[in-house]
Amino acid sequence: IPTIRDIAAASGVSAATVSLVLNGKGEISEATRVRVLEAVSRLKYVPRTFRSRTSEVKETLRFLKIAKHGQTVNRDHSHFISDYIDGMSQEALRRGYALEVVSHDGETIASIAEAVAGAAGVSGVIALGTELSEEDIRLLQSVGAPIVFIDTFYDVVEANFVNMNNIDAVYKVLERFKSRGFSRVGFVASHVGTTNFKLRHDAYFRNMERLGLAVDPSLIISVESTFTGAHRGASDYLASGGKLAECYFCTNDIMALGFARALRENGIGIPQDVSLIGFDNLPMSATSDPPLTTIDVSKRKIGFHAVALLDDIITGAADLPCAKILVGADLVARSSG
């Protein structure tokens, strides 16, 4: 029976690091977590606590980390992907599965679907849907393997989704602005093709109406979703004499930080002149200047629910209807807004 020391030797890290990865603790890089989890999968390691329940690991679950264009699945967001993996890993091990992590960067969805179809010994798949279109979802579905998509959501697609509740999250942002007396609420949107960005865009309009706040289209800025792209887009907007709102909801933290830098370079104080709230609660948000108020959604909980749902699909005696699970959000109040 493989031990933690065996996993450590196979992945080139200390036994303490393996323990941290298996327990979802510590500031461990995504690359290290992936390496450890791959060793766990390869050696079919099962923690002692669970060995009484199962004498051997069931077949593998595969997590597909898919980056189509890399505008959102990139190094800036490696922390939230690590959190997804932590949640999946813990629940997979608890249920007697090994978790295999496979990265697909810049590959066609057809080639990924082909790889899934030819995968031996894989009981089910969890796919990172951040950059996937509706057509991509349908193509991966067509393979016929049990599959759950995380970090995306489509109302009318017959597939299994676990995602954050964007409507609820954006409501909390706008409600905070309104409670602080702001009425001219701007929005830093993105034209990058990501479903959660679109859902937050729609949630902004729906919740502005719900809260009785008037939308001023001239206070909506569209930028790229990388730090450099957001900074460049915001700088161009300010240089062209664009109007400024009293406060802005930013589609994610990276865009908020790029926007904040452009504001500071133009002598605009945060929060003295403009208040900002982001989305994702990335680690750098707490250490930015000023610290960024943001939305936190438990990525570990999303990973946990994805494995639980996938296991139900795999072990279900009868066909189950598709499930669409939305995880709630908390607003983390800091100095920026």
pLDDT in tens, 53-95: 444 556 899 999 998 875 665 555 567 788 898 899 889 988 9
In whole angstroms, give the CA distance from residue 102 to residue 221.
Answer: 35
The full set of domains in the chain, from first to last, is 4-50 (1.10.260.40), 59-165+299-327 (3.40.50.2300), 166-297 (3.40.50.2300)
In whole angstroms, give the CA distance from residue 215 to residue 249.
Answer: 13
User: Is the pLDDT at 22 greater than 80, yes or no?
Assistant: no
Q: Give every CB contact of residue 25 below 8 A, 6+ residues apart in sequence.
A: none
pLDDT bin (cut points 50, 70, 90) of residue 240 is very high
pLDDT bin (cut points 50, 70, 90) of residue 33 is confident
In whole angstroms, give the CA distance from residue 212 to residue 226.
Answer: 32
pTM recorded for the entire structure:
0.80
pLDDT bin (cut points 50, 70, 90) of residue 8 is confident
Q: What is the mean pLDDT of residues 10-36?
A: 77
How many angstroms separate the Cα of 304 from the Cα of each of 186, 253, 266, 323? Answer: 35, 24, 44, 14
Q: Average model confidence (pLDDT) for the chain? A: 88
Cβ–Cβ < 8 Å for 30, 79: yes
Among residues 281, 77, 303, the alpha carbon closest in space to that of 169 is found at 281
- Dump pLDDT digits (tens) for 300-336: 999 999 999 999 999 885 677 899 999 999 999 999 9
Cβ-count burial of 293 within 10 angstroms (0-12 exposed, 13-18 middle, 19+ buried)? buried
Cβ–Cβ < 8 Å for 336, 295: no
Among residues 99, 280, 267, 119, the alpha carbon closest in space to that of 200 is found at 280
Least confident of 105-119, 123-137, 152-166, 238-252: 105-119
In whole angstroms, give the CA distance from residue 337 to residue 332.
Answer: 10
Q: Give every CB contact of residue 128 below 8 A, 6+ residues apart in sequence.
A: 63, 64, 65, 66, 73, 81, 84, 150, 151
